[in-house]
Structure 1
Amino acid sequence: MSQVERKSKVQKLIEQQKFNEKDISKMTDSQIEYYHWLYFDDSVYDYM
């Protein structure tokens, strides 16, 4: 994941108060992508 993409996802997680900066700084790119997906990405199956 690019640095810009990571920063954007991190900022969104912090703004929604899901995690604090200290916790996020310890996460890998994969973990950040997972939590971003978990909290923010909608699926067509969510609406069925």
Structure 2
Amino acid sequence: MSQVERNSKVQKLVEYQKFNEEEVSKMTDPQVEYYHWLYFDDSAYDYM
């Protein structure tokens, strides 16, 4: 994941107030992607 992409995802997680900046800074790239997917990515099943 690029640094720009990571920064964007980290910012969304912090703004969503699920994590503070210190917690997110300790996460690996896969963890950041997982939590971003968990809270922000829509699924087709969300609309059924």
State the TM-score bracket (shorter-chain normalisation). over 0.9
Q: TM-score normalized by structure 1?
A: 0.96
1:47 Cα offset (Å): 1.1
Distance 1:32 1:38 in 2: 10
Q: Which residue of 2 aligns with 1:45?
A: 45
Q: What amino acid is aligned across from residue 7 of structure 2 in structure 1? A: K
Q: Which residue of 2 aligns with 1:34?
A: 34
1:5 Cα offset (Å): 0.1
Q: TM-score normalized by structure 2?
A: 0.96
**Aligned-residue RMSD, C-alpha:** 0.5
SS at match of 1:19: coil
Task: Tell me the matched-pair count.
Answer: 48
The alignment-based identity, stated in percent, is 81
Q: Deviations over 1:1-48 (max 9, x none)?
A: 000000000000001101001100110000000000000000011111
Unaligned runs of 5+ in 1: none
